Amino acid sequence: MLNWIWYISYFLVLFCLAGYGFHRLTTLYLYLKHAKDVPVPMRRYEEDELPVITMQLPCFNELHVIERLIDHVSALDYPKDKLQIQILDDSTDETVDICKAQIERLHRMGFDAEYIHRTDRTGFKAGALENGTRSAKGEFLFILDADFAPNPSVLRETIHFFTDPKVGMIQTRWGHLNREYNMLTRIQAMFLDGHLELEQTARNRSGRFFTFNGTGGMWRKSCIEDAGGWEHDTLTEDMDLSYRAQLKGWNFVFLKDIETPAELPVDMDGFKSQQHRWTKGSIQCCKKCLVDIWQSGYPLKCKLEATAHLTSNFAYLALIVLCFLLYPKQNYGPQWEILVKYPWLEHFLNVPIFFFGSVSVAMFYLMAQKALRPKTWYKEVFYLPILLALGIGMSVNNAKAVIEALCNHQTGFVRTPKYGVGEGGQAAAAPVKSSRYKTMKSMMPLIEFAFAIFFSVVVISNFVDAKYLTAVLLSPFPIGFLYTSVPSLYRMLPINSKNEANAIVDEGK
């Protein structure tokens, strides 16, 4: 009986993961179906009727990147008399002095610039935005995180969509300043390209819900107010506000052809910290918004898409469960007489599940690269196995975030360290190595490393037993867990902790 329970549980988990893979294929279908449905503004503002825009720049201890952001904002191609710049600073370090100096520079350049510094970080980023909106002069608010570097034309390219009074938010597609900095940034870029190029485009153009990405987009102030304003009971205030606004009847527009470049996290700890926050926040939004979505008058297709979107991170829990089921299934599964006689019959279950669970994911991210880089997309094929392995390796980190959200375990908004890596992928090695901006250490890398050891043994045992196909299919598990655990464990070594402390002292001097 126990063997049957293990075996059935194994396939149930695989069906669950395959379901999310099937959803990626439906997203890909919608993307291709609506490829020609490019959004266009209702009309264009004349030069003399361009509305006032407030640039909101929330930041917290962004020593390495805040100056770059302000340089780019000051170069925006938009009338100065129609532009207000707000630096919403919660910093506790030298970033405060840099921001004050930059505000003075903006004033000398003729900008209407405001510096708002909070010593009480209530609400974190959502609280800073809520506080800044009270004194915002523009009816439209363009939000940029400190690690972004907007193109000069971004305001003129986006503002005209607000000539439609029903449009409440416009999101641009993120670009990547440091895509080729290292292997990790390259894989992250592929993850984000899939989300932004395919998912957001398919959702928006097919009339489904889609969400603000937290930065690189513009809001109508009255839309924010109508939706209830910024709330900080989740870690993804952007997703929360987006669903509340759309449930109020506001329309959103995603502009995939307008790129706003940003810097990707360059180290594993920073990446895991960011993913933990995004994953936990999405589950918090799921608990908060999903019932309201199903009680709304929106079509079934919108409700199903929102459900798939808000529950997608439960796949990490399923992946962890799968990790505990793989080995028993291989060795103790029930021996049906027909399978003993015809072992190839089991592939009727395994092959479709593998296709929807893995092949569909590879197709999804490869299509995103083909859309964005039509001449060089094939070069990204090499990185697909690493992308799949990293997704598996992140399961411990992200499953923890899901459990914390389900258990209402409250944690603060942990910023993702950014180091001012140069545009075009130019390395900024010194800031990366010496920066005091490091993510908090935890014991999770030890758990990830234990998973890596376990699956290494499983893969090796399959090779020894001449189960070569199984060994190859399971190889992403040890690779993924090694990839996520070893860099974190290396930084936890006493000698590295001592060097990090010395670097902080030197940087302070």
> Which residues does the annotation mark as catalytic?
90, 238
Is the Cβ–Cβ distance between 450 and 482 less than 8 Å?
no
What angle do helix axes 2-33 and 347-354 make, rounded to 10 degrees?
Answer: 40
Residues whose CB is less than 8 angstroms from the CB of residue 430 and which lie 6 or more positions away in sequence, other chains included: none
**Can you name the residues that pair with 173 across neighbouring β-strands?**
259
Q: What's the CA gap between 303 and 164, in Å, rounded? A: 25
Residue 206 token pair: 């097919």
Residues whose CB is less than 8 angstroms from the CB of residue 321 and which lie 6 or more positions away in sequence, other chains included: 9, 13
Residue 14 token pair: 């695989």
Query: Any idea what the Cα angle at residue 231 is, between residues 225 and 237, rounded to 5°?
Result: 105
Residue 88 token pair: 């919403």
- For residue 58, the SS3 value is strand
Measure the N-to-C terminal CA separation of the chain; round to a whole number of Å: 67
What is the signed CA dihedral for 422, 425, 426, 427, rounded to 10 degrees? 90
| Distance (Å) of CA 362 to CA 130, 312, 316 | 40, 17, 17
- Identify the residue whose tokens are 């020593």: 63
Q: What's the CA gap between 316 and 306, in Å, rounded? A: 18
Is the Cβ–Cβ distance between 437 and 63 less than 8 Å?
yes
- Identify the residue whose tokens are 């995603």: 254
- What is the DSSP code string of 112-154? EEEEEE-SS-TTHHHHHHHHHHTT---SEEEE--TTB---TTH
- Identify the residue whose tokens are 């509340």: 244
Radius of gyration over every alpha carbon of the chain, rounded to an integer in angstroms = 24
Closest CA to 137 of 100, 175, 82, 192: 82
